[in-house]
Amino acid sequence: MLRRLLPLLCALALTPFAALAEAPEVLIEEQARQSWGNELPPEARIHVRFSGSRIDEADLISAFWMDRDSGQFLANAVTPEGVTHRLQGRLMAVQALPVPTRRLMPGDLVGVDDVKTVELPVKRVGAYTITETDKLEGMQVRRMLAAGRPVMTQSVMEPLVIDRGDKVNILFDDGRLVVTAPGRALDDAHRGQELRIVNLVSNKPLQAVARGEGLVEVIR
């Protein structure tokens, strides 16, 4: 048995192992992510577009240059045969964002059908841009939202449960005794937000927290 296996083992030992070649887009993306560094969000995708000649696979990128502003790049890609090819093109970093499907006005509630996900260039994504769908759906519009445009965090807010001038039910709870009284809101408020109210029985102004629609709890 050993005598029969020995030639096969020798042949395998003399056969060079093939390098793990990759599509050049993959290797160029790795280089681009290193070049952009912390400027590129981890969830961003990179589209690689070649201009001129291209190849199907490469073992490595031996040299790489890119302009981080325009995305233009030059790269020397080494093929499995050891031949170096000069590749050039443009890189575009994009990020998936929730955007309105229609124009929304102040006071509107953002519904599920009002939001879609699109890919936009990372350079259009600011520090205060909403990047998660659940941070937009169900919110109330503070400033007009344009269809297809990124939404800033300051343009939406938690839905109001109390409007200024609303009649409210005032809750007093000191842990031992719970008392309610009629009141009127002097401010708008969303759930959990502080607001000023007036007790309609005593005509005394109070500070409270909105607990739900028409319900506030006195905090001092």
Supply the pLDDT for residue 21: 85
CA–CA distance from 33 to each of 27, 28, 87, 220 (Å)? 10, 9, 17, 53
Place of tokens 């629609």: 213
Quick one: average pLDDT of 162-172?
91
User: Does 5 have pLDDT greater than 90?
Assistant: no
For 89-126, write each residue's pLDDT tens digit. 999 999 999 999 999 999 999 999 999 999 999 988 88
For 31-47, write each residue's pLDDT tens digit. 999 988 888 888 899 99
Q: How far apart are CA 94 and CA 182, in angstroms?
A: 53
User: 127-147 b/e with 16+ CB inside 10 Å = b?
Assistant: eeebbeeeebeebbbeeebee
User: Does 195 have pLDDT greater than 60?
Assistant: yes
Supply the pLDDT for residue 220: 63
Token digits of residue 163: 């409007």
Residue-by-residue DSSP string for 29-82: HHHHHHHHGGGS-TT-EEEEEE-S---S-BSEEEEEEE-TTT-EEEEEEE-TTS
Banded model confidence at residue 144, pLDDT cuts 50, 70, 90: very high
